[in-house]
Structure 1
């Protein structure tokens, strides 16, 4: 039976390959894992709390950065009734599910 990206109690392992430096492994769960997957799918366009609603984007990004994942924050203005600024988060490294034994 093939494994999926569905997390288990121990979390989902990912292999992170930075632009500079050696690849490393992290294990993520819950919304942090969700945020990493959204960033991977978004690619260079990145994610904003407006396009990918979630209650704590900044917290998810903080947790990923604490694990060594390179994420850029770009501040953008937005209009509308509640005009202001929002963050766009862009993954600046490669990240992919990493299963023991190399099988996915």
Structure 2
């Protein structure tokens, strides 16, 4: 998946391109809107790593910890975009 991203706010709009899992992660966050997304709702390995790498690129993402029950009860993260984002997605199915 390839995503052209424009972040609003700060010193002005900033545009860059993401590919692969980072593009996929930002797309999932964008689709989730204010509801946000958790690894339980949208399973993928290494969610926290992808979020960390997006933050290093300057994408503001909030994290809220939530309790969950079940056979493997515990806590999980809910991630939300913390800025206005515009996306142009090419290759949404992830095929090159």
TM-score (norm 1): 0.78
Q: Structure 1 runs of 4+ off > 3 angstroms?
A: none
Provide the aligned C-alpha RMSD in A: 1.7
Structure-2 separation of matches of 1:94 and 1:75: 22
Q: Which ranges of structure 2 fall in alignment gaps of 5 or more residues?
A: 89-96
Q: Which ranges of structure 1 fall in alignment gaps of 5 or more residues?
A: 1-5, 99-104
Mark the structure with the bigger radius of gyration.
1
**Which secondary structure state, in structure 1, belongs to the residue aligned with residue 70 of structure 2?**
coil
TM-score (norm 2): 0.84
Larger strand percent? 2
Q: Which has the higher contact order (CA 8 A, sep 6+)?
A: 2
Equivalent pairs counted in the alignment come to 89
